[in-house]
Structure 1
Amino acid sequence: MSLFSRRKNPDQLVKLLKDAFADPSAPAKPSKDGTAVEEITKRLSEMKLLLYGDGEQEAKPEKCAQLAELLIASGLVPKLIMGLDKLPFEARKQFAQVYNNLMRRDLAGFVSYVDRKPEILSALVAGYENAEVALNCGTMLRESIRHEILAGKILYSPDLWKFFDVYVHLPNFEVGSDAFATFKDLFTRHKNLAATFFTSNFDVVFAKYNCLLMSENYVTRRQSLKLLGEILLDRSNFDIMMKYIG
């Protein structure tokens, strides 16, 4: 029998994770199995294994769906995102992999769940303000943006303007570059959605975009110019291009 088959079931995993994360100060408090943060890391690792499988056994679809349902019902997803900076590197990485798997496969209606919980996407966007969690939040954001309904949620929220005004200018090169990758996905992944957004918000969007083209940061200027060309030359943005150059 493989180690995988002896691991805890989804119900046990979610209950143990919820217990470990129940107290906001839990990561600093001991638990009977070691520190609470070690418990959280362990359970996230087991959840990742359940969702992705291992070399001996593939992931079981029914268990994956059950885990997703239980995580949604538990309310742990937003709590984990908001407490991500209290967790060590490995736990943050594992949680991002769990989130991305649920999102990519839309297990138990995970996409609709995130759509109904705007605080999740807002917390992920705000993750760019903390270099320790920024890259983890970036991967989760881009996985979310693959779904048009969630991309639209960000495009039409106040969070979008933080990319123009703050995040793509961050002095930390890795974080600023990651933020720009997310920024680019928002404007290029779903062509019709972006075209509608540009049409409805032309003046404010391109006033802010022109500021990017005049940034003191050479990398920001170069990336912005390249992205602008990609946006304007896309067939779905023909009317936008004509208005911009006019």
Structure 2
Amino acid sequence: MKGLFKPKPRTPADIVRHTRELLVYIDLNANSRDPKREEKMLELCKNIRELKFVLYGNSESEPVVEACTKLTQEFFRQNTLRLLIICLPKLNLEAKKDATQVVANLQRQQVQSRLIASDYLEANKDLLDILISGYENMDIALHYGAMLRECIRHQSVARYILESEHMQKFFDYIEIPNFDIASDVTITFKELLTRHKSTVAEFLSKNYDWFFTEFNSRLLSSPNYVTRRQAIKILGDMLLDRSNSAVMVRYVSSKDNLMILMNLLRESSKNIQIEAFHVFKLFAANQNKPPEITSILFTNKDKLLRFFRDFKLDKENEQFEADKDQVVREIQALKKENSSE
């Protein structure tokens, strides 16, 4: 007879509704001394873990599509996402990790072929402001950063951030002394500047002056080795992307930019030298070099040719060697042009 009175298993929608009730309670009773608060917090953490199991499955079972759909629909039917993000600082570490994975997974869940998370964030852009400002709080920075990157999967989200004042804040956040947080910021920064090609090209064209002034002076010229190395890699990824060809031509027509790249080629770090080379070759290959670019390359011709003669990778790489040979030919050709004048 006992089996007749077993509690009915909760549906994914039930778990979401109960989670929402608990989040509302935790949010309203943040500083309360209610003896039930601890009990409700434990219940909340257990619920978030269950949500994660529904979305990801576990060692014994794969996620069920229908269950994921029901969970997603209920999650975005009311403000559960908002509550979860706002209450994240109040959760314990394990629950923070679980919540981060839940929010990440929801960005990819389709309901009737639509990413409803995208529609929700479009209507609740202030949540993105909250996630970005999370980089200022060590306790939640990495969790909010991971959530933010998943949200950037949506082009409308990336466009909002690129066009907002937050883009200027990223230059401050990259210089945060905490290595883990600064690295996380850099990953998010790169994602913003490389994922959605047309949106990025539009942003760089509209914001060229201030953006590259900041990028050159604060990142490429940073006293921090890791910052310089990551920045030159991001620069190469941006300029070598075909969708940014107009921006690339503008960048490689500046003598100030060329001087920065030549200084990076002289770095003691082989990694920085290699990444700098991938950008420097664009200056050399430009068939419409402004006279000041030609003049700088010609003046430094002998030094550059000596440098490239000894410049090798640890492992053989045919593409690298071909690129290097092309750069050497371009620099040697400058001598012929000048001697024939």
62-71 or 100-109, larger mean C-alpha shift:
100-109
Q: What is the TM-score with the length of structure 2 in the denominator?
A: 0.66
Q: Any gaps of 5 or more consecutive residues in structure 2?
A: 1-7, 254-341
Tell me how far apart the structure 2 counterparts of residues 7 and 95 of structure 1 sit (CA, whole Å). 22
Tell me how far apart the structure 1 counterparts of residues 193 and 130 of structure 2 sit (CA, whole Å). 20
* Shift in Å, 1:47: 0.7
* Shift in Å, 1:176: 0.3
Matches within 5 A, 1:85-100: 85-100=89-104
1:115-142 residue CA offsets vs partner (Å, 9 max, x unmatched): 2210121111111111111111121111
Evaluate the alpha carbon distance shift between residue 96 and residue 194 of structure 1 in structure 2; reply closer, same or farther with a 3 A threshold: same
Evaluate the alpha carbon distance shift between residue 18 and residue 27 of structure 1 in structure 2; reply closer, same or farther with a 3 A threshold: farther
Name the residue aligned to 1:142. Answer: 149
Matched, 1:48 2:52: yes
Tell me how far apart the structure 2 counterparts of residues 90 and 102 of structure 1 sit (CA, whole Å). 19
SS in 1 for 2:62: coil
Name the residue aligned to 2:16. Answer: 14
Evaluate the alpha carbon distance shift between residue 176 and residue 28 of structure 1 in structure 2; reply closer, same or farther with a 3 A threshold: farther
Matched, 1:204 2:206: no
86-95 or 11-20, larger mean C-alpha shift:
11-20
Tell me how far apart the structure 1 counterparts of residues 9 and 213 of structure 2 sit (CA, whole Å). 55
Matched, 1:175 2:181: yes
Name the residue aligned to 1:154. Answer: 161
Matched, 1:229 2:233: no
Tell me how far apart the structure 1 counterparts of residues 35 and 110 of structure 2 sit (CA, whole Å). 33
Evaluate the alpha carbon distance shift between residue 55 and residue 189 of structure 1 in structure 2; reply closer, same or farther with a 3 A threshold: same
Matched, 1:128 2:122: no
Name the residue aligned to 2:274. Answer: none
Decide which of 27, 39, 49 is 1:35's aligned counterpart: 39
Tell me how far apart the structure 2 counterparts of residues 172 and 35 of structure 1 sit (CA, whole Å). 34
SS in 2 for 1:22: helix
1:61-88 residue CA offsets vs partner (Å, 9 max, x unmatched): 2221221121112312112212211111
Report the aligned-residue RMSD.
2.2
SS in 2 for 1:58: coil
Evaluate the alpha carbon distance shift between residue 103 and residue 58 of structure 1 in structure 2; reply closer, same or farther with a 3 A threshold: same
1:174-197 residue CA offsets vs partner (Å, 9 max, x unmatched): 000000000001111122221111
15-24 or 234-243, larger mean C-alpha shift:
15-24
Higher RCO, 1 vs 2 (CA within 8 Å, ≥6 residues apart) = 1
Tell me how far apart the structure 2 counterparts of residues 241 and 17 of structure 1 sit (CA, whole Å). 49
SS in 2 for 1:169: coil
1:80-128 residue CA offsets vs partner (Å, 9 max, x unmatched): 2122111111111111111111102244612211122101211111111
* Shift in Å, 1:25: 2.6
Tell me how far apart the structure 2 counterparts of residues 204 and 224 of structure 1 sit (CA, whole Å). 16
* Shift in Å, 1:144: 1.6
- AA aligned to 2:252 is I
- AA aligned to 1:145 is I
Tell me how far apart the structure 1 counterparts of residues 64 and 81 of structure 2 sit (CA, whole Å). 21
Q: What is the TM-score with the length of structure 1 in the denominator?
A: 0.89
Tell me how far apart the structure 2 counterparts of residues 46 and 237 of structure 1 sit (CA, whole Å). 44
1:136-194 residue CA offsets vs partner (Å, 9 max, x unmatched): 11211111212222211211122222102x21111100000000000001111122221
Decide which of 69, 74, 77 is 1:65's aligned counterpart: 69
Is contact 1:17-1:43 (8 Å) kept? Answer: yes
Is contact 2:22-2:40 (8 Å) kept? Answer: yes
- AA aligned to 2:141 is A
* Shift in Å, 1:242: 1.4
Name the residue aligned to 2:324. Answer: none
SS in 1 for 2:232: helix
